[in-house]
Amino acid sequence: MNIAKKLASLISDAPNQYRGYFVPVFKISCDETPYHAGTAFGIKHNGKRYMVTAAHVLEQDECNPCDSKDELFITVNGSLTQLRQFEATTIHTSVQSQRSPVPLDLVLIAPSEFDLSAVFTNFFTKRHWYKSPLHDRLYVVACGYPATKNNAKKSVKTLSMRPYGYFGRISCASKCRKAGFDSRTHFCFDILLKKTFNGSQREVKAPKPHGISGGPVLVVHDFGRLNLMTPRLRGVVIENAWKQQCIVCVDIFAILSANSAAL
């Protein structure tokens, strides 16, 4: 296998390589049918385990009159379970652009009714983090469960669990600022959803990324280097900035530097 094929295989396999580290989360419609609301992943830091997701995933779904704020369901030991009792830590940036710290679209969740090992088969730790500076030669993948490809049924036995990867190069800082985000705490990567390629390099239209919010973002390759690398965690998906043709992510180090006490 030549280097190009090895690279393509490594990159396309990244979502499956870390499949047990991230899961879909759900809400329930008025007819009691679960539907896909977002993605979450597990981290272990200083001996504690947390579930990470985008804060807006916990917000009330305006299209669902039966939903309420902080109402979320997740698969625990194979059964769809509501998160009833949990501690949620809202993440604030340490960048003082205003008089008070600015909240990021991010939350750490610690359930009290069950252990997170019943949700995730593995957890991201410091050894999984990409610690080098970001630049536009890096290729990244946002991992998650798009709603259009993960339609849930009434029976929990038929809940779809199909992870997808959205790949692209790190965007320039100015593009992230145009999308309305501080490049000191966020980064973006370029992606044209109407013209993407599947694992066999056939051009396809990507599924809408709604539902990948809260998913992990992995650095999968540095085009400035010839050797292949193991995918490493660097961010959390929060938004699709379609006008700028990029996906917005919170930098994992913005979480750690701003909330070392909480962690």
Q: From CA 107, how far away is CA 56, in angstroms rounded?
A: 9
Q: Which residues contact 41 (CB under 8 A, 6 or more apart)?
A: 21, 22, 23, 51, 52, 53, 120, 124, 143, 214, 215, 216
The arithmetic mean of pLDDT across residues 150-170, rounded, is 69
Give the residue from 241, 219, 238, 239 showing the smallest Cα distance to 230: 219
What pairs with residue 247 in β-bridges? 189, 240
Whole-number pLDDT of residue 162: 78
If we measure between CA atoms, which residue out of 122, 89, 87 comes closest to residue 233? 122
Residue with tokens 């977002």: 38
What is the predicted pLDDT for the residue at 97?
52
Q: Do 55 and 107 form a contact (C-beta atoms < 8 A)?
A: yes
pLDDT at 161 over 50: yes
Assign 192 a pLDDT band (cuts: 50, 70, 90).
confident
Express each pLDDT in 139-158 by its tens digit: 999 999 988 765 555 554 45
Average pLDDT of the segment spanning 3-17: 67
Residue with tokens 């690398």: 229
Q: What is the pLDDT at residue 247?
A: 95
Residue 261's pLDDT band (cuts 50, 70, 90): very low
pLDDT digits 0-9 by tens, 121-133: 999 998 999 999 9
pLDDT tens digits along 76-112: 998 889 998 888 887 766 565 555 567 789 999 999 9
State the pLDDT at residue 260. 47
Mean pLDDT of 223-238: 88
What is the tens place of the pLDDT at every residue in 17-63? 888 999 999 999 898 888 889 999 999 988 889 999 999 999 999 98
Q: In angstroms, how far is the first alpha carbon of the chain from the final one?
A: 43
Comparing 81 with 198, which gets the higher pLDDT?
81
Enumerate the H helices of 100-227 as residue ranges. 173-178
Domains and CATH numbers, the chain: 3-258 (2.40.10.10)
pLDDT for 25: 93
In this predicted structure, the answer to whether residue 1 has a pLDDT above a threshold of 70 is no
Average pLDDT over residues 177-187: 90
What pLDDT, on a 0 to 100 scale, did the predictor assign at position 199? 54
Question: What is the pLDDT, as a whole number, of residue 45?
Answer: 82
Global pTM reads 0.87
